[in-house]
Amino acid sequence: MSDREWILEVEDVAKAYTLGSVRLEVLRNIQWRVRRGEWAALLGASGSGKTTLLNLLGALERPDCGRICAAGTDYRTLNGRRAAVFRNRKIGFVFQSYCLLPELSIWENVLLPARMAGMTSGASAARARELLERVGLADRLRHRPGELSGGEQQRASIARALINDPELLLADEPTGNLDAATGEEILALFHELRRSRPNRAIIMITHNEAIAAQADTAMILRNGVLTAG
Contact 11, 67 (CB under 8 A): yes
- Calpha distance 130→65 (Å, rounded): 41
What would the CATH number be for the domain defined by 36-64+78-228? 3.40.50.300
pLDDT at residue 39, as a whole number: 96
pLDDT at residue 64, as a whole number: 96
Our CA dihedral for 119, 125, 130, 132, rounded to 10 degrees, sits at 110
Q: Is pTM, for the whole model, over 0.85?
A: yes
pLDDT tier at 76, thresholds 50, 70, 90: very high
Percent of the chain predicted with pLDDT > 70: 98
| Maximum average pLDDT range among 1-5, 63-67, 115-119, 180-184 | 63-67
Average pLDDT of span 69-93: 94
pLDDT at residue 211, as a whole number: 92
- Calpha distance 15→137 (Å, rounded): 39
- Calpha distance 58→100 (Å, rounded): 18
Q: Is the pLDDT of residue 3 over 60?
A: no
- Calpha distance 114→119 (Å, rounded): 5
pLDDT at residue 156, as a whole number: 95
- Cα angle 52, 54, 57; round to 5: 115
pLDDT tens figures, 129-158: 999 999 999 999 999 999 999 999 999 999
- Calpha distance 87→103 (Å, rounded): 23
Average pLDDT of span 109-121: 93
Percent of the chain predicted with pLDDT > 90: 83
pLDDT tens figures, 118-137: 999 999 999 999 999 999 99
Q: Is the pLDDT of residue 1 over 60?
A: no
Q: What is the mean pLDDT of the chain?
A: 93
Cβ within 8 Å of residue 79, ≥6 positions away: none
